[in-house]
Amino acid sequence: MHPVLFEIGSFPLGTYGLLLAIAFFAGTALAKRQAKLDGLEPAAITDLAIAMLISAILGSKLLMIVVDLINHRPLAEVFSLGTLRAGGAIHGGIIAATAVFFWKLRKGRGLPLRITGDALVPGVALGQAIGRLGCFSAGCCYGTESHLPWAVHFTHPLAQAMGAPGFLVHPVQLYNTLANLAVMAVLLLARPKRAFQGQIFALYFLVEGLGRVITETWRGDVDRGTGWLGWAWLSTGRLTGIAFMLLGLGLWLVWSRRKETK
């Protein structure tokens, strides 16, 4: 893989950072396009997207650190350069960005909650898909051991410094990219058939959570240990995925009964 594309003097251009920037601009562009369909102001969407991006970066790093501490990882490794370079726990980013989303709209940005959520989430899924390519390039968030024809081996010194194993693994980052592209496709296809405002927003949490529960099967970058509540299957990723599905179901049930614009 190529964690660093090239260097300008002593300044390295990291692949992950570049792909994160591309993910933000591509996701924002898609969100603004969806927002126009409901007559929302594109500039307000951009402002909201920037706030959500910052919170997503901080949230993903924070959840990654919390998970590492729960799994008794040495403090020297938790608070290291590898942690700074790693993409983080994506659902921590989504949780933080969702909290900022609700907070910003409560402050009054001229953006109705439900249709704004409907406009944003396809772009969020697209951004996640591109961001996972950054994880693949950096060698973080790697998979479990595999001997399938498409298994990969992270040999770059920077990837190994971040903990990438010295054997063939599932390219789970690419699995997640495909899963997020599928989520985006589902949301875009469902939008013309939207029965109530907020339906696409709720649907995002349902399908994103389901996708994470499935792809967690091939994650090998952290010690899953015995899992939460003593169940090895119930890892942090699956727990957040289930929480997302429950949130999506709750929003769907509540908003489908209140079809007025809010």
Residue 222 scores a pLDDT above 80 = no
Domain assignment present for residue 212? The answer is yes
How many structural domains compose the chain? 1
C-beta of residue 181 within 8 angstroms of C-beta of residue 133:
no
Domain assignment present for residue 138? The answer is yes
Domain assignment present for residue 44? The answer is yes
Average confidence (pLDDT) over 57-73 = 73
Residues 257, 128: Cα–Cα separation, whole Å:
30
CB-side neighbour CA atoms (13 Å) of 163: 21
Residues 88, 105: Cα–Cα separation, whole Å:
26
Q: Which of 12-21, 141-150, 165-174 has the lowest mean pLDDT?
A: 12-21
Element spanning 163, H or E: none
Average confidence (pLDDT) over 181-202 = 96
Domain assignment present for residue 262? The answer is no
CA distances from 59 to 64, 138, 227, 236, 257 (A): 9, 19, 21, 15, 32
Residue 164 scores a pLDDT above 70 = yes
In order, the DSSP letters of 3-21 are: SEEEEETTEEEEHHHHHHH
Domain assignment present for residue 242? The answer is yes
> Between 237 and 197, whose confidence is greater?
197
pLDDT for the residue numbered 88? 62
C-beta of residue 251 within 8 angstroms of C-beta of residue 202:
yes
Cα torsion at 71, 72, 75, 80 (round to 10°)?
-30
Average confidence (pLDDT) over 205-217 = 93
Domain assignment present for residue 261? The answer is no
Q: What are phi and psi of 6, to 5 degrees?
A: -165, 170
CA distances from 199 to 20, 73, 99, 109, 205 (A): 28, 40, 18, 21, 10
Average confidence (pLDDT) over 88-94 = 72
Structural domain that includes position 68:
4-256
Alpha-carbon Rg of the chain, whole angstroms?
19
Q: How far is CA 114 from the centre of its chain?
A: 21
pTM: 0.81
